[in-house]
Chains A and B, each alone.
Chain A
């Protein structure tokens, strides 16, 4: 397995190149909220992957919190009037 990996690094034509990796990583960096603040700096690839994982986890947490909130609101509110309000807010 390790010999195959070292061979893959030497032949660059059909294997993924470092340039391709950094290109993909920079595109991913553009999606991160932290990167939008300092758009000119290039973070190292490992940092970008780490931040991506953290960001996905925080998004999952937000969705969970919102789900809890929605479940409570659904229990208490009257659906028809709430739906009218939502549709109004969507159209505005």
Chain B
């Protein structure tokens, strides 16, 4: 999906994101940016049909830098914040609630095409029951990682990375993990930009 071609004045997000106009103007991301090439994704499908591989064309990290994505996310976030505030009319909204609302809005913006977004929405839906159940069962059994794991020192760091990205703890495939991580990073950057812009606007409503 393409961001709107803005031939007018340069808007601040471009400067903040530091991307070039040419990159944003391309309707589909160039093949060099796509994380999962088709041979490896079909291999992943054959070997592990339960593991959904990200659709490379749709889930390119570059789409998180378009103005359109940020606008859509900002409006979703505003709506969620309004609900948060309305739900706690007497008490002030806690930072944790705002964080959860922001994460959920981000996961919705991903449109279920990435593992981390599905994990955020799933964990929210099942709430504390799921977490308590998982705590009782202990760590999930390790998936057979020999098929696609890199050398040992990299594997350790890859495991740490898998714990940081939602829903990727048990992800055995290294290419899929890196693809999820890059998409997640791009989405987080957009989340930071959008929240900072909203905080800025809330702080000085008269100035803008």
Q: Which residues of A contact B (CB under 8 A)?
A: 1, 4-5, 8, 14-16, 18, 20-21, 24-25, 27-28, 31, 36, 45-46, 49-50, 52-53, 55-57, 59-60, 62-64, 66-75, 77, 79, 81-86, 88-90, 92
Main DSSP-derived SS at the A contact region: helix
B contacts with A, residue count (CB < 8 A): 62
Whether B178 contacts A28 by the Cβ 8 Å rule is yes
CA distance A63 to B104 in the complex (A): 13
Within 8 Å of chain A (Cβ to Cβ): is B135?
A: no
B4 to chain A, nearest CB (A): 12
Residue numbers in A under 8 Å from B205 (CB-CB):
77, 81-82, 84-85
Is B146 a contact of A25 with CB atoms below 8 Å? no
A70-B195 in contact given A8-B146, A27-B35, A86-B201 (Cβ < 8 Å):
yes
Task: Indicate if the CB atoms of A64 and B95 lie closer than 8 Å.
Answer: yes
Residues of A within 8 A of B157 (CB): 46, 49-50, 53
Q: Among B74-82, B107-115, B118-126, which stretch is in contact with chain A?
A: B74-82
A66 contacts B196, CB within 8 Å? yes
Instruction: Give A81 to B99 CA distance when docked, in angstroms.
Output: 23
C-alpha gap A36/B21 in the complex (Å): 17
| Cα(A70)–Cα(B189), bound, Å | 17
Q: Are A70 and B185 in contact (CB under 8 A)?
A: no
B161 touches A53 (CB 8 A): yes
Cβ of A73 and Cβ of B202 under 8 Å apart?
yes
- Assess whether B133 is interfacial by the CB under 8 Å rule: no
Given contacts A5-B146, A63-B195, A79-B82, contact A89 B201 (CB under 8 A): yes
Min distance, Cβ B106 to any Cβ of chain A, angstroms: 9
Q: How far is the CA of A31 from the CA of B180 in the complex (A)?
A: 13
Quick one: given A21-B174, A31-B185, A71-B95, are A66 and B201 in contact (CB under 8 Å)? no
The answer to whether B154 touches A45 (Cβ under 8 A) is yes
Chain A residues closer than 8 Å to B203, beta-carbon distance: 73
Expressed in whole angstroms, the minimum distance between the Cβ of A61 and any Cβ of chain B is 10
Does any Cβ of A come within 8 Å of B102's Cβ? yes
